[in-house]
């Protein structure tokens, strides 16, 4: 058993958590924070071999047990077998973090037969649905409490051009979060969502720190700074922990105040 504990989340020690999309970005930040809290981790990835090795190494350095599983969630037929394997690693799971997703930017009139739209919904919405149902079903079967955290986006609440597929998937994830919370509360399974704003990750860090982008974005974020993957990891730990044991069906928006203002002229 590991010796790690986090002062803010001591109850997470030795909790068995599956994080999807853990090879980079927010998923990697979640893994680091949850490792510091003493969780036993199952780390999912699809194709980023170097990224998942880095995530695993950073977790193992903390003395945390962790296993890696690969799966392409665009092939929905593989999801059930993937979850079965994840559940068996530690003879069960206490939490599921549906973080894996694709960010699709396409004009609707250029995706006439919905190729991009359908792939986006498969990875961002249908795979989390299948994983969540499998998790809740197993928890109910053995009479165990559990927690699901869905990583959504502010695009589920307010979006813009090019994001029809992505925004639809995240709005759907928000709605699914609420429905599953209602359906599964009586089984002791809580379901909440994290809704991040602008968080620089590997593929966006350089562009978001160009002077013109800093001026553009930070002028719209009321706290005047971007979020970090560690911020999202801390929020995930909060949602998984007993600090939120009476919280379910909620969408926790963490965006520095980006969407609170609305699209009003600046005064």
pLDDT tens readout for residues 4-28: 778 889 999 999 999 999 999 999 9
- Is 90 known to be catalytic? no
CA distance 157 to 168: 10
**86 Rama class: left (phi>0) / alpha (psi -120 to 50) / beta:** alpha
- Residue 267 in any domain: the answer is no
Q: What is the pTM of this model?
A: 0.95
Total number of domains in the chain:
1
Assigned domain for 266 exists: no
Q: Which residue of the set 45, 90, 129, 166 is catalytic?
A: 166
Residue 2 lies in a domain: no
Tens of pLDDT, residues 166-187: 999 999 999 999 999 999 999 9
The answer to whether 233 and 196 have CB atoms below 8 angstroms apart is no
Tell me if residue 226 falls in helix, strand or coil. coil
Containing structural domain, residue 225: 10-254
Residue 46 buriedness (CB in 10 A; 0-12 / 13-18 / 19+): middle
Answer yes or no: is 61 within a domain: yes
Within a domain: 197:
yes
> pLDDT (tens digit, 9 = 90+) per residue, 116-163?
999 999 999 999 999 999 999 999 999 999 999 999 999 999 898 889
For the stretch 232-263, what's the b/e string if a residue is b when 16 or more beta carbons lie within 10 angstroms of its beta carbon?
bbbbbbbbbbeebeeebbbbbbbbbebbeeee
Residue (of 15, 19, 22, 17) closest to 1 by Cα position: 15
The CATH number covering residue 27 comes to 3.40.50.720
Residue 196 and residue 232: Cα distance in Å, rounded? 7
Give the pLDDT band of residue 111 (cuts 50, 70, 90): confident
- In percent, how much of the chain has pLDDT > 90? 85
Residue 37 inside a domain? The answer is yes
């Amino acid at each position: 058993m590991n010796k790690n504990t986090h002062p803010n989340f001591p109850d997470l020690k030795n909790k068995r958590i599956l994080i999807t999309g853990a090879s980079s970005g927010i998923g990697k930040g979640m893994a680091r924070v949850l490792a510091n809290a003493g969780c036993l981790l199952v780390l999912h990835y699809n194709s980023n071999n170097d990224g998942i090795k880095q995530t695993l190494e950073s977790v193992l350095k903390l003395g945390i047990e962790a296993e890696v599983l690969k799966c392409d969630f665009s092939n929905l037929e593989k999801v059930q077998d993937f979850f079965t394997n994840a559940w068996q690693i530690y003879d069960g799971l206490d939490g599921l973090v549906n973080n894996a997703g694709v960010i699709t930017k396409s004009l609707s009139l250029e995706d006439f037969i919905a190729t991009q739209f359908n792939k986006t919904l498969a990875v961002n919405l249908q795979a989390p649905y299948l994983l969540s149902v499998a998790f809740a079903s197993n928890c109910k079967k053995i009479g165990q409490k559990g927690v699901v955290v869905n990583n959504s986006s502010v695009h589920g609440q307010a979006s813009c051009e090019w994001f029809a597929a992505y925004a639809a998937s995240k709005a759907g994830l928000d709605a699914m979060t609420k429905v599953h919370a209602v359906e599964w509360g009586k089984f002791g399974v809580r379901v909440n969502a994290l809704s991040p704003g602008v968080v620089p990750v590997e593929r966006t860090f350089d562009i978001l720190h160009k002077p013109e982008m800093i001026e553009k974005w930070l002028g719209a974020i009321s706290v005047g700074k971007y979020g970090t993957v560690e911020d999202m990891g801390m929020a995930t730990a909060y949602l998984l922990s007993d600090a939120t044991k009476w919280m379910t069906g909620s969408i926790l928006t963490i965006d520095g105040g980006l969407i609170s203002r609305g699209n009003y002229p600046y005064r």
